[in-house]
Chain A
Amino acid sequence: MDAFTKLTGVAAPLPMANVDTDKIIPARFLKTIKRTGLGVHLFDTLRYDAEGQERPEFVLNQGPYRKAEILIAHENFGCGSSREHAPWALLDFGIRCVIAPDFADIFHNNVFKNGILPIRLSREICDQLMEDAKQGDNARITIDLAEQVVVRPNGEKIPFEIDPFRKHLLLNGLDDIGQTLQHAPSIDSYESKQQAEKSWMPGISV
């Protein structure tokens, strides 16, 4: 996973609530066995018509937003399925940060594992950022994870909250599994205790 420290880039405004994972990446594109290559199908139904032609009215098909690295949306972003293909598609397109009033839980977990930073800010602030984002290339937004601030094009700094453990992993690009394996002795002793106390619990074999 790539570390996330500081990012300055174009933000794409997506003023929609309940953007579900089927919208982010429809199920028909989940038949891959790789993590990469999904960017062209990001928001497929919103982005392309039935003939596969770009819909010019969709934000990611417009000039500067083709290179957007930040996405700004409304409530309950990422609801629906647990598919990590959703963050993979975002990442493959180039999105490293999503800003919304709130996120669905599993999606929120998944983006962190892929070096994408989800930022929760009030609806009011999201709407201000949405206005900034509409300026396209002329209004780049900066995300400073170490400082925990979003910097608007006018220089205003907006602080945001983040779980300290997740911040640490993101800043250093650390792999969760490696972290957890440092606790292997505790896992071993938990298992021995469980085998003694819950000996009724059968193992699975076919």
Chain B
Amino acid sequence: MAETKPRTLFDKVWDAHVVEQLPDGTCVLYIDRHLVHEVTSPQAFEGLRLAGRKVRRPDATIAVADHNIPTMGRANGIQEEDSRIQVETLERNVVEFGVPYFPILSPQQGIVHIIGPEQGISLPGMTIVCGDSHTSTHGAMGSLAFGIGTSEVEHVLATQTLLQKPAKNMLVKVEGTLGAGCTAKDIVLAIIGKIGTAGGTGHVIEFAGSAIRALDMAGRMTVCNMSIEAGARAGMIAPDQTTFDYVRGKPYAPKGEALDRAIAWWSTLPADPGAHYDTVVELDAAAIAPMVTWGTNPEAVVPVTATVPNPADEQDEAKRAQLARMVEYMGLTPGQKITDLKIDVVFIGSCTNGRIEDVRAAAAVAKGRKVAPGVRAMIVPGSGIVKQQAEAEGLDRILIDAGFEWREPGCSMCLGMNPDKLTPGQRCASTSNRNFEGRQGPGGRTHLVSPAMAAAAAVSGHLADVRELA
């Protein structure tokens, strides 16, 4: 393709996957990797079966069960009947359609967005989809990765393509150096606080700037993971040496000379000078404090040093009503200090913060301390590999000694589909990505924070500024 116009990272990955452009601009877009899990796939496989269709590229597909599975005593099977049926259905479907599958008891099993990069299945420059909105996580590799619905899952299984129109380009530039105690999670929460939960609608966000470049791959994944919480279709970060070093040696990544050829292409992907972005947003990393959400969408976020906002200060009537509803649901008083909020539960895990780096950050805070009386603190590694690695480093001991529950990998209390749920009124410091009403269990109250902040809350018994624990 003889393109002369300067292109963004998104433009380049998009262009490389257009199979055909239809007259109205809709594209048949080729999909390199399709990740499948138990909750959003049963109806898709059923659709294939009814139409007598096959999976076009089983070798570009990987399946794993993560959302529903218990995070304790898994070897004894799944007790909840409907969850068990869903997992068994996936297991039957992968056999029938010849799709590669990481079984529940294998170390490769884990949250779908953790295992893709970890196994080298998600690579730079690829198009990656999954029936899950947090597929945006894989964009940290420099790929175009986005969530799809079940009809589209079926579409990809049958055709290895999707019908799509290109998104708009948004550039979010974070320059400068993060302060002590601040992490990738705080960056992305600050971004969502700035642009809002619909700020990225219709866009693919490219995260750039020195603060993003300085993040390790785990941090970049945390940032891209939550792009969807800003309404964006996907988030991406240009591949660089950090990316290439990460990919090297991963089980399914290319090796040797093949890797060299891959890197040669990946190195051409960063945006050309002068490439056009429809929207540009800039943030100063040094101004970002550890962040805490106080309300029931991720845009309702403040620095840990702040107080609960007063809805009465809002001019717009509809917004004022929404804020008031959030304050009520969350059981808060306007003007109350965030650090005065007592917590009942701490959840460390999820595809946002369930990687080994996150476990290390939690263990660093927990070391030599104890979970406060009355607090239930659980840590759920994102994959079997993360769990093994943490155990090899002795992190599980540190956490268990401090009073944390050390569990088996899965989505767990991120969405409360398995037995790990909040009970009505319980307040939770969570490293996951959504604080919607009832997300972690009916009536549960979620405060989104980084792993270090979650651990700080666990040992303090209330939301706490991790910088004061150092």
Q: Could you tell me if A190 and B30 are in contact, using CB atoms closer than 8 angstroms?
A: yes
Report B-chain residues with C-beta under 8 Å of the C-beta of A190.
19, 30
Q: Which of B255-263, B272-280, B335-343 contacts A (4 or more CB under 8 A)?
A: B255-263
A124 part of interface (Cβ distance < 8 Å): no
- B40 sits at the interface (CB 8 A): yes
B434, A80: Cβ atoms under 8 Å? yes
Q: How far is the CB of B136 from chain A (nearest CB, A)?
A: 10
**Is B97 interfacial (CB-CB < 8 Å)?**
no
Number of residues of chain B lying within 8 A (CB) of chain A: 82
Do A82 and B131 form a contact, CB below 8 Å, given A26-B442, A33-B43, A183-B20? yes
Q: How far is the CA of A177 from the CA of B161 in the complex (A)?
A: 9
* B307 CB within 8 Å of chain A: no
Distance of A101 from chain B, by nearest CB (Å): 10
Q: Which listed residue, A15, A18, A83, A194, touches B30 by the CB 8 Å rule?
A: A194
Residue of A nearest to B266 (CB): A200
Q: Is B147's CB under 8 angstroms from A181's CB?
A: no
Give the contact stretch, choosing among A61-69, A107-115, A141-149: A107-115
Q: A22-B438, A28-B416, A30-B417 are in contact. Are A180 and B82 (CB under 8 A)?
A: no
| Interface residue ranges of A133-186 to B (CB < 8 Å) | 163-165, 176-177, 179-181, 183-184, 186
Q: Digitize B310-341: 1 where CB-to-A-CB distance is under 8 Å, 0 elsewhere.
A: 00000000110010000000000000000000
CB nearest neighbor in B for A22: B436
Residues 90 to 139 of chain A near chain B (Cβ within 8 Å)? 102, 104-106, 109-110, 113-114
Contact B62 A204 (CB under 8 A): yes
Given A109-B152, A180-B163, A187-B19, do A206 and B85 touch, yes or no (CB 8 Å)? Answer: no
Which chain B residues lie closer than 8 Å to A206 at the CB level? 100-102, 108
Which B residues from 43 to 76 make CB contacts under 8 A with A? 43, 46, 51, 53, 59-62, 67-68
The stretch of B21-29, B177-185, B282-290, B362-370 that contacts the partner chain? B21-29
Using an 8 Å CB-CB cutoff, how does the interface string of A12-39 with B read, 1 for contact, 0 for none?
Answer: 0001111010110011101111110000
Q: Residue on B with the closest CB to A179? A: B163
Please name all residues of chain A whose beta carbon is closer than 8 Å to the beta carbon of B150 when the two chains form the complex: 35, 84, 110
- Is B83 part of the binding interface, using a Cβ–Cβ cutoff of 8 Å? yes
For the complex formed, measure the closest distance between the CB of B25 and the CB atoms of chain A, giving whole angstroms: 8
Out of B82, B83, B254, B424, name the residue touching A201 (CB < 8 Å).
Answer: B254
Main secondary structure of the interface of A (DSSP, over half): loop
Nearest B-chain residue to A194, judged by Cβ = B30
Is there an interface contact between A200 and B254, defined as CB atoms closer than 8 Å? Answer: yes
Report B-chain residues with C-beta under 8 Å of the C-beta of A176. 151, 155, 163
Cα A186 to Cα B101 in complex, Å, equals: 29
Tell me the bound Cα distance from A16 to B439 in angstroms: 18
Beta-carbon contact of B159 and A187 below 8 Å:
yes
Whether B40 and A27, one on each chain, are in contact in the complex, defined by CB atoms closer than 8 angstroms, is no
- B331 nearest CB across to chain A (Å): 16
What residues of chain B lie closer than 8 Å to A50, measured between beta carbons?
424, 442-443
- A17-B322 contact, Cβ under 8 Å, with A113-B149, A113-B151: yes
Which of the residues A31, A84, A194 comes within 8 Å of B151, measured between beta carbons?
A: A84
- Check B131 against A33 for contact (C-beta < 8 Å): no
- CB pair A114–B151 under 8 Å, yes or no, is yes
Cα-based distance from A102 to B253 in the complex (angstroms): 40
State A190–B62 Cα separation when bound (angstroms). 21
In the complex the two chains form, is A31's CB within 8 Å of B86's CB? yes
Q: Which has the most chain B C-beta neighbours within 10 Å: A84, A164, A176, A190? A: A84
Residue A74 at the B interface, CB < 8 A? yes
Partner of A177 from B159, B198, B297 at Cβ < 8 Å: B159
Is A20 a contact of B28 with CB atoms below 8 Å?
Answer: no
Cβ contacts under 8 Å, B443 to chain A: 50
Q: Decide if B100 touches A205 in the complex (CB within 8 Å).
A: yes
Given A33-B43, A183-B19, do A104 and B231 touch, yes or no (CB 8 Å)? Answer: yes
- A106–B148 touching, CB < 8 Å: yes
Q: A15 vs B318: C-alpha distance in the bound complex, in angstroms?
A: 9
Instruction: List residues of B (95-127) whose CB comes within 8 Å of A's CBs.
Output: 100-102, 108, 121, 123, 126
Report the bound CA distance from A28 to B83 in whole Å: 10
- Complex Cα distance, B130 from A82, in Å, reads 9
A199: chain B residues within 8 A (beta carbon): 258, 261
Tell me the nearest residue of chain A to B434, going by C-beta: A80
In angstroms, how far is the closest chain A Cβ from the Cβ of B23?
Answer: 9
Pairwise interchain contact A82-B133, C-beta atoms closer than 8 A = yes
- Write out the residue numbers on chain B whose beta carbons fall within 8 Å of the beta carbon of A200: 254, 258-259, 261-262
Which of chain B's residues have a CB closer than 8 A to the CB of A106?
133, 146-149, 233
Residue among B20, B85, B89, B202 facing the most chain A CB atoms (10 A cut-off): B20
**Measured CA separation A26–B417 after assembly (Å):** 9
Q: Give chain B nearest CB distance to A41 CB in angstroms.
A: 12
Among residues of B, the one whose C-beta sits closest to the C-beta of A168 is B24
Interchain CB contact under 8 A, B201 and A105: yes
Evaluate contact between A110 and B133: CB separation under 8 angstroms: no
Q: Are B436 and A80 in contact (CB under 8 A)?
A: yes
Chain B proximity of A2: nearest CB distance (Å): 14
Kindly state whether residue B32 has any CB partner on chain A within 8 Å. Answer: yes
Q: Are A204 and B258 in contact, CB atoms less than 8 angstroms apart?
A: no
Give residues 5-20 of B contacting A (CB, 8 Å).
Answer: 19-20
- Beyond the given pairs A16-B322, A22-B438, A82-B135, 12 more chain A to chain B contacts, judged by CB atoms under 8 angstroms and listed by A's residue number, are A18-B197, A27-B417, A79-B198, A81-B133, A82-B133, A82-B148, A105-B233, A163-B24, A177-B154, A180-B163, A187-B160, A199-B258
Q: List 10 A-B contacts (CB under 8 A).
A: A18-B322, A28-B416, A31-B86, A76-B197, A84-B40, A84-B151, A106-B148, A177-B51, A199-B258, A206-B100
